[in-house]
Amino acid sequence: MKRFIIAATAAFVAASPAASVAPQSITGRWATDDGKAIVDIYACGAKLCGKVHKLLIKQPAGGQRDERNPDKAKRTRHVTGLQIYWDLAADGNAWKGQGYSPEDGRYYKANLTAKGAKMTMKGCVSVFCKTVTWTKMS
Protein backbone atom coordinates (compact mmCIF):
# COMPACT_ATOMS: atom_id res chain seq x y z
CA MET A 1 0.00 0.00 0.00
CA LYS A 2 2.84 2.38 0.84
CA ARG A 3 4.42 1.75 -2.59
CA PHE A 4 1.06 2.50 -4.27
CA ILE A 5 0.78 5.88 -2.50
CA ILE A 6 4.38 6.82 -3.41
CA ALA A 7 3.85 5.77 -7.05
CA ALA A 8 0.53 7.64 -7.26
CA THR A 9 2.07 10.77 -5.76
CA ALA A 10 5.01 10.61 -8.18
CA ALA A 11 2.63 10.20 -11.15
CA PHE A 12 0.53 13.19 -10.00
CA VAL A 13 3.61 15.42 -9.62
CA ALA A 14 4.94 14.38 -13.03
CA ALA A 15 1.59 15.18 -14.69
CA SER A 16 1.10 18.54 -12.98
CA PRO A 17 1.33 21.71 -15.12
CA ALA A 18 4.38 22.97 -13.25
CA ALA A 19 6.32 19.95 -14.50
CA SER A 20 6.23 21.18 -18.10
CA VAL A 21 6.32 24.96 -18.48
CA ALA A 22 5.48 26.22 -21.97
CA PRO A 23 7.39 29.15 -23.41
CA GLN A 24 5.78 32.59 -23.62
CA SER A 25 3.62 32.98 -26.71
CA ILE A 26 5.29 34.68 -29.66
CA THR A 27 2.19 35.10 -31.81
CA GLY A 28 1.59 38.63 -33.00
CA ARG A 29 3.32 41.36 -34.94
CA TRP A 30 7.03 42.11 -34.34
CA ALA A 31 9.28 44.96 -35.50
CA THR A 32 12.79 43.88 -36.44
CA ASP A 33 15.66 45.49 -34.54
CA ASP A 34 17.21 46.90 -37.72
CA GLY A 35 13.98 48.75 -38.62
CA LYS A 36 13.72 47.01 -41.99
CA ALA A 37 10.55 44.95 -41.56
CA ILE A 38 7.51 43.93 -39.57
CA VAL A 39 6.96 40.19 -39.14
CA ASP A 40 3.77 38.33 -38.22
CA ILE A 41 4.03 35.15 -36.14
CA TYR A 42 0.84 33.06 -36.31
CA ALA A 43 -0.57 29.59 -35.74
CA CYS A 44 -0.37 27.25 -38.71
CA GLY A 45 -1.75 23.89 -37.74
CA ALA A 46 -0.34 22.69 -34.42
CA LYS A 47 2.81 24.79 -34.83
CA LEU A 48 3.69 28.42 -35.52
CA CYS A 49 4.81 30.14 -38.72
CA GLY A 50 6.02 33.62 -39.57
CA LYS A 51 5.84 35.87 -42.61
CA VAL A 52 6.99 39.32 -43.64
CA HIS A 53 4.02 41.60 -43.03
CA LYS A 54 5.60 44.78 -44.36
CA LEU A 55 8.99 46.08 -45.47
CA LEU A 56 9.97 49.45 -44.00
CA ILE A 57 12.81 50.11 -46.44
CA LYS A 58 12.69 51.77 -49.82
CA GLN A 59 11.80 49.13 -52.40
CA PRO A 60 12.43 49.00 -56.13
CA ALA A 61 9.51 49.57 -58.50
CA GLY A 62 7.20 46.56 -58.30
CA GLY A 63 8.38 45.63 -54.78
CA GLN A 64 11.39 43.89 -53.27
CA ARG A 65 11.98 40.39 -54.67
CA ASP A 66 13.60 37.34 -53.08
CA GLU A 67 16.59 37.81 -55.38
CA ARG A 68 19.18 36.08 -53.16
CA ASN A 69 17.25 32.81 -52.87
CA PRO A 70 19.52 29.84 -53.67
CA ASP A 71 16.66 28.42 -55.79
CA LYS A 72 16.69 30.52 -58.97
CA ALA A 73 13.01 29.71 -59.60
CA LYS A 74 12.06 31.54 -56.36
CA ARG A 75 13.97 34.76 -57.00
CA THR A 76 10.95 36.58 -58.46
CA ARG A 77 8.80 36.11 -55.30
CA HIS A 78 7.84 39.26 -53.41
CA VAL A 79 9.43 39.55 -49.96
CA THR A 80 6.29 41.16 -48.53
CA GLY A 81 4.04 38.24 -47.57
CA LEU A 82 6.91 35.74 -47.78
CA GLN A 83 6.86 32.95 -45.19
CA ILE A 84 10.18 33.07 -43.32
CA TYR A 85 9.43 30.73 -40.35
CA TRP A 86 7.78 27.33 -40.26
CA ASP A 87 7.49 24.31 -37.97
CA LEU A 88 8.04 26.44 -34.84
CA ALA A 89 7.23 24.25 -31.85
CA ALA A 90 7.55 24.77 -28.11
CA ASP A 91 10.81 23.31 -26.82
CA GLY A 92 11.67 24.16 -23.21
CA ASN A 93 11.48 27.95 -22.84
CA ALA A 94 11.78 28.64 -26.59
CA TRP A 95 10.12 28.04 -29.95
CA LYS A 96 12.33 26.06 -32.31
CA GLY A 97 11.90 25.42 -36.01
CA GLN A 98 13.15 26.51 -39.41
CA GLY A 99 13.78 29.98 -40.80
CA TYR A 100 14.78 31.73 -43.98
CA SER A 101 16.43 35.11 -44.49
CA PRO A 102 15.53 36.80 -47.79
CA GLU A 103 18.22 39.36 -46.99
CA ASP A 104 21.02 36.85 -47.58
CA GLY A 105 19.16 33.83 -49.03
CA ARG A 106 20.04 31.45 -46.18
CA TYR A 107 17.97 28.79 -44.49
CA TYR A 108 18.70 28.24 -40.80
CA LYS A 109 17.63 26.60 -37.55
CA ALA A 110 15.55 29.15 -35.64
CA ASN A 111 15.26 29.56 -31.87
CA LEU A 112 12.83 32.28 -30.72
CA THR A 113 12.34 33.28 -27.09
CA ALA A 114 9.99 36.02 -25.86
CA LYS A 115 10.31 37.91 -22.62
CA GLY A 116 7.65 40.56 -22.21
CA ALA A 117 7.53 42.77 -25.30
CA LYS A 118 10.95 41.64 -26.58
CA MET A 119 11.78 38.53 -28.57
CA THR A 120 15.24 37.14 -29.13
CA MET A 121 15.69 35.27 -32.39
CA LYS A 122 18.80 33.14 -32.77
CA GLY A 123 19.45 31.70 -36.21
CA CYS A 124 22.19 29.16 -36.85
CA VAL A 125 23.70 27.78 -40.04
CA SER A 126 26.07 24.98 -39.07
CA VAL A 127 28.07 26.42 -36.15
CA PHE A 128 27.62 30.05 -37.17
CA CYS A 129 24.84 31.88 -35.32
CA LYS A 130 23.36 35.36 -35.27
CA THR A 131 21.09 36.74 -32.56
CA VAL A 132 18.72 39.69 -32.94
CA THR A 133 16.05 41.19 -30.68
CA TRP A 134 12.65 42.22 -31.98
CA THR A 135 9.96 44.35 -30.32
CA LYS A 136 6.28 43.42 -30.12
CA MET A 137 3.93 45.91 -31.72
CA SER A 138 0.60 46.92 -30.17
Q: What is the pLDDT of residue 21?
A: 75
Helices (H), the chain: 2-15
Domain definitions of the chain by residue range = 34-136
Q: What pLDDT was estimated at residue 13? A: 41
User: CB under 8 Å to 119, separation ≥6 — which residues?
Assistant: 26, 30, 112, 113, 133, 134, 135, 136
With H, G, I as helix, E, B as strand and everything else as coil, classify residue 72: helix
- Is 3.90.1150.10 the CATH number for 34-136? no
According to the model, what pLDDT value does residue 22 have?
82
Q: Residue 44 has what pLDDT?
A: 96
Low-confidence ranges of the chain (pLDDT < 50): 1, 4-19
Candidates 109, 97, 104; CA nearest to 50 is: 97
Q: Return the exposure string of 61-91: e unless at least 16 CB atoms fall within 10 Å of the residue's CB, then b.
A: eeebbbeebeeeeeeebebeebebbbbbebe
For 111-121, the pLDDT digits (tens) are: 999 999 999 99
Give me the pLDDT at residue 127, please: 84
Cβ-proximal residues to 33 (8 Å cutoff; 6+ apart), any chain: 132, 133, 134, 135
Q: What does the chain come to in residues?
A: 138
pLDDT score at 125? 87
User: What radius of gyration, in Å, describes the C-alpha atoms of the chain?
Assistant: 19
pLDDT of residue 3: 52
Distance from C-alpha of 59 to C-alpha of 37, rounded to nearest angstrom: 12
pTM of this prediction?
Answer: 0.81
pLDDT in the model for residue 46: 93
